[in-house]
Chain A
């Protein structure tokens, strides 16, 4: 006896849309069950996780702040994933972008450097992330090294580099030995979009990235090149698309956007260099990219949903004493439910019994 997946001949768009809704409800039910097992009320948890953040203006702003790096990174990753290239190291590219951009902020600290500092910091952030992303791309094209391993391992290199800088050369001498840099000057701080608001310009960058990527992936030959490389690599070569150039390009793009996310977060949100500048945005963004089905608009929505779980998870930790790990578990449950729903829309399950040829 075994299970077989039989492809469905026709799939209605309604079923596809409905599948996402069912996936979300299922994920909430599973999470509710887990919370109930932990001896808390699932209803109270739903209230704290979902309803309270959505009804509180401060929390809504926080939602956009948390979604910003997720959107930027996941948009970048969608270039890689469409071409079936597996950049798992966005977290490292995020850190390296933040490091290179912050270098300028610290260099110009205390001087009366003008408004050019901020744009240049953003540019350096992009360059830092892109160059760091190009390392696995180079290793793959030159030596055939698997990009999953190299990009992942380079995350730890980046994190330890940041750790060293925050504790060593970049530590604020007047900071009571805390492993932190000085606070960035206003000239090196990404301002809020609205006066006294929480949402900084990084969110605008994210929206621009979504719009531009929608055009690139849907309307240009380059977008088609990625799709063809992912779906039929031999056909891509036959179409004259150099596969090595494709690898380099998508790793530079996704690294660059991750780097921009990194410097925007440090400059607009944290305001200084410290040993940890990310609660794992680079990894969570992989989930976001797939939740959004590698579609820019989908990624925008998925990032908001996942950001909600971050914020809800923080309040749940305070109000219900639920561990923060539960948030990550929920993100995983959500992803599995969405993927399972996708599979069940395209295939139906059939039970095969041995010798059933009657």
Chain B
């Protein structure tokens, strides 16, 4: 790692007036940004603020419509990621690009130029692992690794090429609090050695922990460059979303009534080759409460959602009981008729069909709504329902009845949640309700979940966002590798305790929870 750049010289990289236009949309609008050698610089902004576009321009994935990039003071054109890497840029994407069946060393070697071979990769890998505390076993197959370990592969892959600037896109979204803390240690060390870091996030606390300068984007423009430690999280959030955001709150206290959902000894084999088996899941959701299910992505959340919704049926009917009816062997339609409603994680393609109009998308939960009669579609009823959802959940649409893909992520999420909440189901199960959604929409969604529960429904929220769960849940459990911890009132959980459960290393006195 080179650390010979003095901070009195020109900035390592300087973006001047970068703009990117997609049709009518100005994704980046005259952005200026400079990063000093050895600096950890935060790029903050809501989803859709233009962070990803800017980073892709910097990394040579897309070309800007206007603007200039200077590298150590001289103008450069970065035409491809290969050119970016040869300049000294490294990037760790939010979504990993790893081959599941190959080993760690093979995955690293495959991304490097041909003058590397497996032996040299192996030796450099152990050097870097030791120096930066990035423990990795070179011969493990990737599919056996946790998300945190996979991320380490991506980081090591960058570090092997001695980058001058390392870009990390939402790196902690897949990490437990402990793993995140470990990552911060690594980044501090890299920065001390002179490597600059561009840290993209929307989590304010970690930005305040890591960075001395933060550039805040909103709607494609730079709204401020600040020292995040000198502002409160609330002030920064206000800059990001443009106005003060309220907190969600519940008017009525949590008064649970009878059981609406009860899951007992639910087991399910994994769906695919690398799926997670559900092992002895026990869970009760009562009318009037919000149940939170925390966990790091890929620990069985989607399998649990499929088992609860009936997209996959259990081997025993009494493994899942909804509203007093044993329905473990019933499909999703039959469960909807028991007044249950479901919102899966993927908005486009799972919860909604991208190229279909909103009115057509109401037909997806047709089993429980009045949009069809004896096999015929009631087109006017569907349009009315879509309009009702759009107006009661503040869905901003470009036209009257647009295709689902024309909506922004937040607005589509409000629509798919609204589609279920509007009929006041007795049970609502939501997987990642605010994933990739702007703060305003997230707040509205969380509030509608709480309101639904206070009106006497049971709500189950599966989420990776711990802050969200602490905000909405009355009781919470943690899923780890297909096993669910016991449900405890939210007040009895600490973030540390949740983190330990997420890692599967919690020590429960008396060994109360079976694995």
Binding site for B on A (CB under 8 A): 9, 219-224, 227-228, 231-232, 234-235, 237-240, 242, 354-358
Contacts and interface: CB of A to CB of B under 8 A. Distances in A.
Contacts of B346: 234
22 contacts: A219-B376, A219-B379, A220-B375, A221-B366, A223-B377, A224-B360, A231-B353, A231-B356, A232-B353, A232-B354, A232-B356, A235-B350, A235-B353, A238-B342, A238-B344, A238-B364, A239-B363, A239-B365, A239-B367, A240-B367, A355-B79, A357-B64
Contact of A221 (B24, B350, B354, B375): B375
A79 B353 CA distance: 19
Among B64, B352, B366, the one with the most A-chain Cβ atoms within 10 Å of its Cβ is: B366
A356 B78 CA distance: 10
B498 to A, nearest CB: 29
A220 B375 CA distance: 6
Nearest to A9: B23
Contact of A219 (B353, B364, B377): B377
Contacts of A9: 23-24
Contact of A234 (B24, B79, B350, B363): B350
A140 to B, nearest CB: 19
A238 B350 contact: yes
Contacts of A228: 353, 356, 363-364
Given A240-B333, A357-B63, A220 B377 contact: yes
B336 interface: yes
B350 A224 contact: no
Contacts of B350: 232, 234-235, 238
A223 B360 CA distance: 12
Contacts of B448: none
Interface string B259-288: 000000000000000000000000000000
Among A237, A239, A356, the one with the most B-chain Cβ atoms within 10 Å of its Cβ is: A239
Interface residues of B, number: 35
Given A238-B364, A354-B79, A232 B349 contact: yes
B351 interface: yes
A227 B63 CA distance: 36
Given A228-B364, A235-B349, 17 more contacts: A9-B24, A219-B377, A219-B379, A221-B375, A222-B375, A224-B360, A232-B352, A232-B353, A234-B349, A234-B350, A235-B352, A237-B332, A238-B309, A238-B311, A238-B332, A239-B365, A355-B79
B272 to A, nearest CB: 13
B355 interface: yes
Nearest to B57: A357
Contacts of B342: 238
Nearest to A218: B377
B416 to A, nearest CB: 10
B450 to A, nearest CB: 25
Contact of B377 (A224, A234, A239, A242): A224
Closest 5 CB pairs of A and B: A240-B333, A232-B353, A357-B63, A239-B364, A234-B350
Contacts of A242: 331
Contacts of B309: 238
Contacts of A238: 309, 311, 332, 342, 344, 350-351, 364
A284 B470 CA distance: 61
A357 B79 contact: yes
Given A231-B353, A235-B364, A240-B367, A221 B377 contact: yes
A239 B78 CA distance: 45
Interface in B364-385: 364-367, 372, 375-377, 379
A354 B356 CA distance: 36
A238 B308 CA distance: 12
Given A231-B354, A238-B311, A239-B365, A221 B376 contact: yes
A220 B342 CA distance: 24
A18 B435 CA distance: 42
Contacts of B354: 231-232
A204 B53 CA distance: 57
B77 interface: yes
Nearest to B62: A357
Contacts of A237: 311, 332
A233 to B, nearest CB: 8
A355 B79 CA distance: 5
Contact of B363 (A224, A355, A357): A224
Nearest to A232: B353
Contacts of B367: 239-240
B375 A239 contact: no
B353 A357 contact: no
Nearest to A358: B77
A110 B333 CA distance: 55
A232 B77 CA distance: 39
Interface string B21-41: 001100000000000000000
A358 B17 CA distance: 12
Interface in B74-132: 77-79
A240 B336 contact: yes
B360 A240 contact: no
Nearest to B342: A238
Nearest to B361: A235
Contacts of B377: 219-221, 223-224
A260 to B, nearest CB: 23
A15 to B, nearest CB: 17
A235 B372 CA distance: 18
Nearest to B83: A355
Contacts of B366: 221, 239-240
Nearest to A229: B353
Contacts of B349: 232, 234-235
A221 B333 contact: no
Contacts of A354: 79
Interface in B289-337: 309, 311, 331-333, 336
